[in-house]
């Protein structure tokens, strides 16, 4: 039997909601078990109602039955074992059928057609309609109303004994044909309307959800095309640079004739600046490739070499700010990683450390191996990060509130985190740092990468 509603668009989401409902049903049922127990005991002792011994034991029996099958469902909850929508739906349907059987027995023992518990059918119809196709729910309502009609009829003709209702008044209507017909018609009407309305709302909700999903997909693919276009444009920038470089190379190789030292020096300088821009473009392309396609170019690299080079290239700034930078290198073996990306990550962190450390500050970098993990720590005694903002610092475009006067875009650290993550590593941040002092709290970045 196909019990999957036709309106379902996103099976993953639908599966999740069924899982949620199933877990929720089980919880709800524990409340019902307790509620019924309290009601049973109360009814036994409330003056004026006083249910019979038979009713009393029937209630307890039904309560135990519900508790037993709920315990069973709790134990064999397929949410953890089987990831199939169909079987989870069958599981929900089975729970509902057992519930309805228990409820029907209770209804008989609380006065049949007179029972107030008939109202609980509505709950089941509403909950069921959220998950199951309307057809199944209508058939269920039909079966329920038929069973209730049969019961009323048999009580009416005296084929089975009527059980005392649980109201405080003593009148009984089960022999009143007009009451029976009105009650049955009302119940049937309410059940059908409940199913109709709930089903309509459920369908609309799923529709809306799938619309949102589709819109989100569209946005993603538009973003991807945009990125690809930008990559193509950035790549185009390389052509004129390559052409200019080729011409300068030609001049510098003396093929066209000798030139004096001053001209040679300026031409070399121009060639150097062009190679810088090529390098920058290559970096942008490399990062886009990583962001867009998750591609890595793995090779054996040494972090100490990269860090030394980065410190070397920042040496003039370090001298200017009179920052004391220490590098403690204990790297034994190279690791397998994407050189360009790791360079970007480390340069981001080191440049941040320099940028956010005031004059006469300290920066301490160390590389250590421990149990197949390479640890890199970058410590400074700069301005630090406010405690309540540390959690957000890796978010894209987020900038801490104490750096508003210092230039930046807030894209660096989120990229750093992505780069470390894709290398199966981890990055942690602490502020104040170990070398921080009062007024100079500082920041501490700890990276760990698998060595393998």
In the bound complex, what is the minimum distance in angstroms from residue 345's beta carbon to another protein? 20
- Name which position in 247, 308, 336, 402 contacts another protein (CB under 8 A): 247
- Name which position in 243, 298, 333, 373 contacts another protein (CB under 8 A): 243
* Sign of torsion over alpha carbons 412, 417, 421, 425: positive
Q: Which is nearer to another protein, 215 or 250 (CB)?
A: 250
Query: Beta strand 298-301 with 362-370: parallel, antiparallel or unpaired?
Result: unpaired
Judged by CB under 8 A, does residue 446 bind another protein?
no
Q: Which is nearer to another protein, 146 or 268 (CB)?
A: 268
Cβ count within 10 A of residue 26:
15
Q: Which is nearer to another protein, 39 or 422 (CB)?
A: 422
Tokens of 258: 């000798």
Based on its alpha-carbon atoms, the radius of gyration of the chain, rounded to whole angstroms, reads: 37
Q: Which is nearer to another protein, 249 or 395 (CB)?
A: 249
Identify the CA nearest to 162 among candidates 149, 170, 172.
172
- Span from 74-82, 162-170, 213-221, 286-294 in contact with another protein (CB under 8 A): 286-294
Q: What is the C-alpha to C-alpha distance for residues 436 and 432, in angstroms, rounded to an integer?
A: 6
Please state whether 373 falls in left (phi above 0), alpha (psi between -120 and 50) or beta.
beta
254-283 positions binding another protein, by CB under 8 A: 255-256, 274-275, 278
Q: Which is nearer to another protein, 280 or 333 (CB)?
A: 280
Are the CB atoms for 447 and 335 separated by under 8 Å?
no
- Name which position in 44, 235, 283, 375 contacts another protein (CB under 8 A): 235
Q: Which is nearer to another protein, 208 or 220 (CB)?
A: 220
- Name which position in 47, 170, 239, 260 contacts another protein (CB under 8 A): 239
Q: What is the C-alpha to C-alpha distance for residues 446 and 378, in angstroms, rounded to an integer?
A: 7
- Name which position in 149, 172, 289, 366 contacts another protein (CB under 8 A): 289
* Sign of torsion over alpha carbons 34, 91, 127, 85: positive
CA angle 105, 107, 110 (to 5 degrees): 115
293-322 positions binding another protein, by CB under 8 A: 293, 295
Tokens of 432: 């104040």
Positions touching another protein (CB under 8 A) are 228, 231-232, 234-235, 238-239, 241-247, 249-250, 253, 255-256, 274-275, 278, 285, 289, 292-293, 295
């Amino acid at each position: 039997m196909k019990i999957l509603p036709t309106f379902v668009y996103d099976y993953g989401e639908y599966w999740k909601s069924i899982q949620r409902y199933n877990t929720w049903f089980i919880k709800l049922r524990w409340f019902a078990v307790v509620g019924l127990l309290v009601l049973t005991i109360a009814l036994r002792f409330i003056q004026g109602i006083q249910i019979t011994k038979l009713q009393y034991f029937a209630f307890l029996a039904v309560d135990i039955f519900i508790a037993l099958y709920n315990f069973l469902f709790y134990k064999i909850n397929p949410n953890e074992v089987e990831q199939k929508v169909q079987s989870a739906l069958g599981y929900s349907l089975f729970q509902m059928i057992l519930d309805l059987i228990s409820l029907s027995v209770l209804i008989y023992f609380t006065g049949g057609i007179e029972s107030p518990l008939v109202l609980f059918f509505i709950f089941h119809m509403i909950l069921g309609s959220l998950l199951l196709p309307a057809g199944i729910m209508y058939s269920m309502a039909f079966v329920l109303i038929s069973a209730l009609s049969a019961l009323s009829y048999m009580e009416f003709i005296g084929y089975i004994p009527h059980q005392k209702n649980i109201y405080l008044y003593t009148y009984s209507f089960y022999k009143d044909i007009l009451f029976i017909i009105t009650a049955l018609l009302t119940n049937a009407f309410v059940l059908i309307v409940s199913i109709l309305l709930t089903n309509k709302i459920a369908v609309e909700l799923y529709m809306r959800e799938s619309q949102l999903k589709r819109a989100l997909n569209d946005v993603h693919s538009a973003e991807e095309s945009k990125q690809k276009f930008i990559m193509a444009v950035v790549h185009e920038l390389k052509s004129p640079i390559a052409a200019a470089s080729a011409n300068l190379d030609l001049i510098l190789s003396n093929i066209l004739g000798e030139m004096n030292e001053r001209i040679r020096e300026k031409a070399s300088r121009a060639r150097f600046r062009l190679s810088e821009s090529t390098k920058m473009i290559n970096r942008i392309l490399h990062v886009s490739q990583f962001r867009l396609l998750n591609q890595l170019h793995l090779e054996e690299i040494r972090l100490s070499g990269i860090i030394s080079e980065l410190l070397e290239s920042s040496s003039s700034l370090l001298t200017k700010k009179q920052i004391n930078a220490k590098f403690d290198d204990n790297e034994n073996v190279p690791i397998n990683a994407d050189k360009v990306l790791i360079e970007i990550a480390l340069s981001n962190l080191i440049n941040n450390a320099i940028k956010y450390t005031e004059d006469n500050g300290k920066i301490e970098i160390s590389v250590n191996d421990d149990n197949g993990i390479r640890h890199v720590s970058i410590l400074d005694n700069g301005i630090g990060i406010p405690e309540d903002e540390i959690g957000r610092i890796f978010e894209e475009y987020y900038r801490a509130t104490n750096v508003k006067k210092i230039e930046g875009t807030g894209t660096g650290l989120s990229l750093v985190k992505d780069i470390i993550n894709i290398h199966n590593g981890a990055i942690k941040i602490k502020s104040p740092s170990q070398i921080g002092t009062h007024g100079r709290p500082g920041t501490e970045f700890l990276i760990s990468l698998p060595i393998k």
